[in-house]
Amino acid sequence: MGTLDWKNLPFGYIKTDFNIRCHYKDGKWGKPEVSQSEYIDIHIAATGLHYGQEAFEGLKAYMGKDGKIRVFRWDENASRLISSANGIKMAPVPAELFREAIFQAINLNKKFVPPFGSGASLYVRPLLYGSGAEVGVKPASEYTFIVFVTPVGPYFKGGVKPVNMMICRDVDRAAPLGTGIYKVGGNYAASLRALVAAKESGYGSALFLDAREKKYIDECGPANFYGIKNNTYITPKSESILGSITNKSLIQLAGSLGIKTERRQVPVEELAEFSETGACGTAAVITPIGKIVDPEKNKIYEYCKDGKPGELTMKLYNKLVGIQIGDMPDEFGWMTVVE
Ligand code: PLP
Ligand code: COI
């Protein structure tokens, strides 16, 4: 793997050696199998292709200074995949099977775990879809669970460099009683018009508002949103956003750093009151926001005017990443060493 430029890896797909696959049939899960192929054979009438019966996860494995590989909060991803499966009527993947598959996938592809200090990590992508054939709209009776891994750099270019976001008022990513709380592919399809429009206008991502009233902040493309004011970390409460494991962890870290926390509705106008804002998620880690533009209301909210991330953002970032790479004590018991 001498050819990979670890320090400049994009957030993209790089082929690794092995992936894990497992099939659900006749009401039960089979044994995980190792594959060297990047392709799947899929029934032309699979519900995953036609009716969006598909959910995925994203988590990371990190190389520590001590040469140990650690995975961040895999049990939370396992629970969320169960919730997503139930949300769109798929067979849930038991947490134990999830654990076995992700650790095997990481172990078999150890040489792709980016070195300590590179800023990159091994992204683990579990995927579950309806593989049974149906033509009527109903849940499949067969499912496939796959785990592949790929080494990645930061999702937003430049790592902790501030990015700009565009508020998008003419696209809803998810509805309050819809599937926004699940990590299902359809939500990402629904977000693409806004993401492409934001990128074409030169922004890092789109910022979605609540679909019902267009009054409150929902989330930033594939990451949760937070704002900071008066030593308080504030993050949206909404019925249509994904429960981010990173965000949940930051709330705990903030508490341990003496920063107050609030999870509540965040009105768009409050953007003018924050001293710092950011996006957080597995891929985004913590990405500070430099500017939020609301083109339809002719408004611009600016942060990081000196081009640097804010103080509390950096405190949270350093502690989160310090724990993940095994450089700081794992005081919350979040990390699992890959044996
Ligand atoms: N929101 C959306 C829509 C996402 O796709 C993600 C990524 O997983 C997140 C938020 C962040 O969640 P997490 O911190 O669990 O990765
Ligand atoms: C993640 O943060 O893991 C994500 O899923 C983001 C994304 C690339 C969809």
One pLDDT digit (tens) per residue for the chain, 339 residues: 557 899 899 999 999 999 999 999 999 999 999 999 999 999 999 999 999 999 999 999 999 999 999 999 999 999 999 999 999 999 999 999 999 999 999 999 999 999 999 999 999 999 999 999 999 999 999 999 999 999 999 776 666 889 999 999 999 999 999 999 999 999 999 999 999 999 999 999 999 999 999 999 999 999 999 999 999 999 999 999 999 999 999 999 999 999 999 999 999 999 999 999 999 999 999 999 999 999 999 999 999 888 889 999 999 999 999 999 999 999 999 999 999
b/e map of 69-105 (b: 16 or more CB within 10 Å)? Answer: bbbbbbebbbbbbbebbeebebbbbeeebbbbbbbbb
- 173 assigned to some structural domain: yes
- H/E stretch holding 130 reads strand 121-130
* Ligand 2, pocket-test mutation among 155, 244, 248, most atoms within 8 A of CB: 155
- 113 assigned to some structural domain: yes
What's the longest Cα–Cα distance across the chain?
60
* Ligand 1, pocket-test mutation among 127, 237, 244, 320, most atoms within 8 A of CB: 244
| One domain, residues 310 and 195 | yes
Q: Looking at 114, 131, 152, which one is the last position of a domain? A: 152
Q: Which atom of ligand 1 is nearest to the CA of 248?
A: 14
- 158 assigned to some structural domain: no
| One domain, residues 177 and 129 | no
Distance CA 236, CA 252 (A): 16
| One domain, residues 217 and 91 | no
Q: What is the CATH number of the domain that holds 113?
A: 3.30.470.10
Smallest-distance ligand from the CA of 13: 2
| One domain, residues 25 and 121 | yes
Q: Report the number of distinct structural domains present in the chain.
A: 2
pLDDT at position 58, please?
98
Q: Which atom of ligand 1 is nearest to the CA of 282?
A: 16
Domain assignment of residue 23, given as a range: 6-152
Residue with tokens 């794992």: 330
Q: For atom 5 of ligand 1, which residue has the closest CA?
A: 222
b/e map of 203-232 (b: 16 or more CB within 10 Å)? Answer: bbbbbbbbbeeeebbbbbbbbbbbbbeeee
| One domain, residues 27 and 106 | yes
Q: Looking at 95, 122, 152, which one is the last position of a domain? A: 152
Q: Is the pTM for the entire model greater than 0.95?
A: yes
Calculate how far, in angstroms, residue 185's C-alpha sits from the geometric centre of ligand 2: 11
| One domain, residues 71 and 170 | no
> CB-based contacts of 154: which residues, under 8 Å, 6+ apart?
11, 119, 285, 287
Q: Looking at 152, 173, 198, which one is the last position of a domain? A: 152
Is ligand 2 within 6 A of the CB of residue 58?
yes
Smallest-distance ligand from the CA of 150: 2
Smallest-distance ligand from the CA of 126: 2
| One domain, residues 59 and 113 | yes
| One domain, residues 295 and 273 | yes
